[in-house]
Amino acid sequence: MKFKEALLSLSRFQKRLIFFVVDLFGLYAVAIVATWIRLGYIDASIEPFLPAIAILPFLAIPIFVTQGLYRAVIRYLGSKFATTVFYSVSFAFVLWATAIFMLQWPYPRSAILIAWLLTLLYISATRLFARWLLLEGLHKDLSILKSVVIFGAGTSGKQLASAIEKIPNMRVIGFIDDDETLYKHQIASITVYKRENLERLIEKHKVSEVLMALPSITASERKKILDWLEPFALKVSTLPSIDEIVSGKVSFSDVREVNIEDLLGRDPVPPRAELLSKCIEGQAVLVTGAGGSIGSELCRQVIKQNPKVLILYELSEFALYTIEHDLLKSGALSTTKMIPILGSVLDEFKLGRVIQKFEVDTVYHAAAYKHVPIVEHNIQEGIVNNAFGTHAAAKLAAENGVKNFVLISTDKAVRPTNVMGASKRLAEMVLQALQQEFTTTRFVMVRFGNVLGSSGSVIPLFRKQIIDGGPVTVTHPEITRYFMTIPEAASLVIQAGSMGGGGDVFVLDMGEPVKIDTLARKMIKLSGFEVVNYSGEGDIEIHYTGLRPGEKLYEELLIGDCVDGTDHPRIMTAHEDYVPYGQLLQLLKLIENDLKLYDYEIVLERLKTVVSGFEHPSGIVDYLAKSGMST
C-alpha cells in the first residue's frame, strides 16, 4: 500500500515524466525486436539500422504529447483512449516510414509493420498495467472493495457501469436483467445474469448493494422489483426517473437511495392541461402559506401556467426567502410578476389590501398549522389560524371580487380525533356556508392525506434514524396512513380547484393505505440492514412509542358514503353537510370568547356540536389550559 500511496502522491508532471521515459526506451526496444523478428535470429547485428531506430522516439513522442496520451488519467481510461492510441501510433509510424524511405536508411521494410503492431501493443499494455496497478493490483485486502450488482443491462446500466469504473474501491460484479436474450452475455466485460443468480453472487462475491438502472419503468414495476429484492440483506439504490434525467436535473451517473414513492408503486396520472391553466393563465394568483411544503410546490406549478401576477403570502421570513429564491433561480418568471409579501392571514387589513391592490383572481389557501401533537398542545393557535384564518381570508376574497378560492384540507378533517382535524373541518364548513352568501366567488375544498417529504414527514425521520443506527420509532404496529407525493398533490389541487360549481368538497384518490410499521421495515431492509428480531439478532431495532395525543390508527377521506366521481380519475367529490352562515358565525364568536379564557373543555364541546363525528379521547394537553384541566 505504501508503494501505491507513493505513486498516487506524485505530481502530475512526475507521472507524465515516468511515462515519457517508459515510452522512450520502449520505442527503442520495439524497433530492435522488430528487426530480430524479421531477420529470424536474436543475435543479428542492428548496427546498420541504428539511424532509423534512433529517430523513432523523436517522431513518435511529440505526436503522443499533442494527442494527449500523457494528459489522460490512467484510472479513467476508456474506448476513446484506445482510439487515440491507435491513431497516434499509426500517424507516428507513417512519418517514420516516410523518413526512412526519403533518407534511404537501411531498415527492413516489413519490420516497420511489425514494429507498428508491437508499439500498439506496448503503449496499450503499459497504460492498462498502470491502471491495474493503481486500482486492482495493490488491493491485497479485498474487504476494502465494495461489490455491487446493477439491475438493468440496458443503456442506463452500461452508462452506470462506466461511471462506477472511475470510482476507486468499487467494482461491478454483474448485471441482472429479465431479458432472456442477454443471459450470460458480456457487456463491458461484465456478465449478465438472471434473477435467480443473485443469491449465488451475494455469497460468492460478498455483494452489498444493488443499483437499479431502470429509469423508464413505471412506479408499479419498480415496486415489484423492490419487493423481490427486500428479502436480501442488500442496500438498494436507484437511478432517477427518466423525466428527471431528461429535464437535466440529474444524469445517468446520479444514484440515490430508494425513495418512499418507489415503495408505494403509485403510477402518476398525466395532468389535464386545461384544468391546470383554467384559473391561472393570465390571471393574478395569491398563494397563502407560500413557503410551506404544499404552498411552495403550488407556487412552482402555478408559475408554469404563466399567471400575470403571483403573490407569495407567507408568515415565516425564512420560508418566504427560500421560495422566492427558488422561483428566481428556476428562470420561469419571464412573463410573470412575482410579489413576495410577509404577513399573516389573520391580518385582515393587510390581506385585504393585497387582494385589492393586485386584483387577485384566484387564491390557493395553504396557510395552516398541520402537526397534530403541536396543535394539541397549542389549541388556541391551531383553531384561530386554521378556522378563523380561513374565514378571514375567504370572506375578504369574496368581498373583493376574487373568482376562485381553493382551500387545502386534510383527511384528518373526517371524523376527527384531534383539534387540528376539527379545525380543518370547521374551515371547510366556513367555505360551504360562505358559498351560499357569496355566489360570485367559487369556493372549493380539496381534501387529501399525507404528502411525502413535507415538513415533519415520517420518512426523513426514518432515514435519519437508520443512518444513526436506530432505533426506528413507530407509534403503533397497526397505524396506517395514505401517502402522496408533493408534486402530485399540488397538481391535483390545481386541477380540482378548476372543477365544480362552488361549495364542492373534492377528495383525492390516495391509493391504498400503507402500514407505517411495514414501511419502516422495508426502508431498513432496502438500506442493507436487518430488523432486530425477538431473539436479538439483527442490526436496527423498531421501538413502538404509543399513539400521540389526538392521533388515530386509521385515517379516512369521507365522512359519509355519498361520493361521486369526476372527469378526472384521481379526483372525487364528496357531499358533506354544512351549517348556515349566520348560525356558524355565532358559533365562531362563542369559540373565540372561550379561547380567550383558555376554556378548552367548552371549546371542544362546541366543536362536537358542529363537526360531525368529532371525538377527543386523549384529553386536554394544552400547556395553557384553564386551571383544573388535565395537562
Residue type, 34: A
DSSP H/E element including 483: strand 483-485
CA 289 to each of CA 103, 286, 296, 386, 528: distance values in angstroms, whole numbers, following the listed order: 84, 10, 8, 11, 38
The residue count of the chain comes to 631
Rounded distance between C-alpha atoms, residue 328 and residue 324, angstroms: 6
DSSP H/E element including 338: strand 337-342
Neighbours of 308 (CB within 10 A): 16
Active site residues: 412
What is the secondary structure of 532-578 as a DSSP string? --TTS-SSB-EEE--PPTT--SS--S-SSS-EEE-SSTTEEEE----
Burial class for 269, CB neighbours closer than 10 Å (0-12, 13-18, 19+): middle
Question: Which 3 state secondary structure label does DSSP give 62?
Answer: helix
Rounded distance between C-alpha atoms, residue 443 and residue 502, angstroms: 5
Residue type, 197: N
Cα 215 to chain centroid distance, Å, stands at 12
CA 340 to each of CA 205, 315, 357, 362, 531: distance values in angstroms, whole numbers, following the listed order: 56, 11, 14, 16, 47
Handedness of CA 565, 568, 571, 573 (dihedral sign): negative
> Cell match 432517477: residue?
240
164 contacts: CB under 8 Å, gap ≥ 6: 148, 170, 171, 172, 211
C-alpha cell at 537: 439478532
Least Cα distance to 509 among 459, 557, 454 occurs for: 557
Helix axes 581-596, 419-437, angle to 10 degrees: 140
| Sheet-wide strand order for 170-176 | 186-187, 190-193, 170-176, 146-151, 209-212, 235-238, 256-257
- Per the CB < 8 A criterion, the answer to whether 362 and 275 are in contact is no
* Bridge partner list, 310: 285, 338
CA 180 to each of CA 152, 173, 195: distance values in angstroms, whole numbers, following the listed order: 12, 19, 11
CA 571 to each of CA 407, 413, 495: distance values in angstroms, whole numbers, following the listed order: 15, 17, 9
- Per the CB < 8 A criterion, the answer to whether 202 and 235 are in contact is no
What is the secondary structure of 125-146 as a DSSP string? HHHHHHHHIIIIIT---GGGSE
Burial class for 262, CB neighbours closer than 10 Å (0-12, 13-18, 19+): buried
